[in-house]
């Protein structure tokens, strides 16, 4: 059975075009994680009385995920990177919106 065993480098889930993109992959995961943290903090401040510093953290992380994610959309190379980036952008936007509604950058 020819070609049954793979040899060489194992492909990354993000590198579907066959070329490595380590910087873009790491920043895509960072956008996803910061967006999800902002989203979770937004849900916490929406449902509980928290300190003003939590509002500021949720707002800043959401803004970071939104701005960096929009830039990464322009420079991303593969579809899988774009899917992860958009999930981070959406989660960051929701966290940013909830943070702004509860006091934003001032707490």
Assess contact for 62 and 42: CB atoms under 8 A.
yes
Q: Which residues contact 100 (CB under 8 A, 6 or more apart)?
A: 59
pLDDT by position in tens, the chain (length 107): 566 666 666 667 877 888 888 899 999 999 999 999 999 999 999 999 889 999 999 999 999 999 999 999 999 989 999 999 999 999 999 999 999 998 888 86
Q: Quick one: CA dihedral 15, 21, 24, 27, positive or negative?
A: positive
Write out the E strands in the chain. none
pTM of the model: 0.86
């Amino acid at each position: 059975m020819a070609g049954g065993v793979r040899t060489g480098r194992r492909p990354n889930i993000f590198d579907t075009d066959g070329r490595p993109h380590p910087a873009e992959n790491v920043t895509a995961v960072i956008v996803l994680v910061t967006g999800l943290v902002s989203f979770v903090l937004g849900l916490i401040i929406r449902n509980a009385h928290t300190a003003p510093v939590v509002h500021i953290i949720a707002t800043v992380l959401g803004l970071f995920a939104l701005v960096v994610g929009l830039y990464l959309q322009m420079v991303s190379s593969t579809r899988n990177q774009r899917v992860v980036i958009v999930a981070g952008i959406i989660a960051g936007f929701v966290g940013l919106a909830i943070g702004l509604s509860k006091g934003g950058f001032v707490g």
